[in-house]
Amino acid sequence: MPITDLFTNNRQWAERMNQRDPGFFNRLARQQAPRYLWIGCSDSRVPANEIVGLLPGELFVHRNVANVVVHSDLNCLSVLQYAIDVLRVEHVIVCGHYGCGGIEAAWKKMGFGLIDNWLRHVQDVAERHTELFPRGITDAQATERLAELNVVDQVANVCRTTIVMDAWRRGQSLSIHGWIYGLHDGLLRDLGLSVTRDGTLAGEYAHVIAAIAGTPAAKK
Ligand code: ZN
């Protein structure tokens, strides 16, 4: 597809949106009021708005390779702070996915250059949970399990930011969720981790790690 087709596609899309709802773009241009912040992977096969059926204006989005939340990443923290303090989103969703190239590269220590430093955070997750990667586990099984554990640890990282802690302290309604998406079937799965207030992370975290440990590390 030549790159000029993207403009053709865009005009057709804008026309369709206008036909469906003539005031749509005017309204959107004036304000956005999303209820959700999505922290997901940059992977082209995981388009946030599309897979949850939300329109422009309904989902605030941050994506990076392997949906990692690092406490010194000003980019991610700025998105989180603006979403929570200014837009007042009520839900933050950390969504990983099975078949993630970033997770696979981290697990196999593949070595692609600069990005290896970013994926080091995912290797840290694997090392934090070595008991969940028993001898004999296949690479396919391990990467799927690591994708789940990475979501869980990134949810914990979100919960531990000053931004989220301060929001809970002032009584703001805010839940942090851990989900995972299947490239192979287009379906989202709730990993069973939703943290809604200060002081509950440790219990929720232990519960979901035990659940992951209790399921066979097999392809979902
Ligand atoms: Zn990915």
Which pLDDT does position 219 carry in this prediction?
47
29 C-alpha vs ligand 1 centroid, how far in Å?
Answer: 31
Question: Is 100 in the active site?
Answer: yes
Dihedral sign for Cα 156, 159, 160, 163, please: positive
CA 148 to chain centroid, in Å, comes to: 11
How many Cα atoms within 13 Å fall on the side-chain side of residue 190? 7
Question: Is 45 in the active site?
Answer: yes
Average pLDDT per consecutive 10 residues, the chain (220 residues; last block may be shorter): 96 97 93 95 97 96 98 98 98 98 98 97 98 96 98 98 98 98 97 97 96 75
Structure tokens at 170: 């002032």
> CA 39, CA 60: separation in Å to the nearest integer?
9
CATH 3.40.1050.10 domain extents, the chain: 33-213
186 C-alpha vs ligand 1 centroid, how far in Å?
Answer: 14
Instruction: Kindly name the residue from 62, 97, 129, 177 that is annotated as catalytic.
Output: 97
Which pLDDT does position 216 carry in this prediction?
73
Instruction: Kindly name the residue from 27, 45, 169, 207 that is annotated as catalytic.
Output: 45
Question: Is 159 in the active site?
Answer: no
Which pLDDT does position 176 carry in this prediction?
98
> CA 118, CA 102: separation in Å to the nearest integer?
9
Which pLDDT does position 101 carry in this prediction?
98
170 C-alpha vs ligand 1 centroid, how far in Å?
Answer: 34
Instruction: Kindly name the residue from 76, 95, 100, 159 that is annotated as catalytic.
Output: 100
Region 33-213: CATH code: 3.40.1050.10
Structure tokens at 158: 């979100």
Question: Is 43 in the active site?
Answer: yes
The neighbourhood of ligand 1, an ion, using CB within 5 A, equals: 41, 43, 100, 102
Which pLDDT does position 217 carry in this prediction?
64
65 C-alpha vs ligand 1 centroid, how far in Å?
Answer: 6
Question: Is 129 in the active site?
Answer: no
Measured at the CA of 163, the angle between CA 78 and CA 59, to 5 degrees, comes to 55
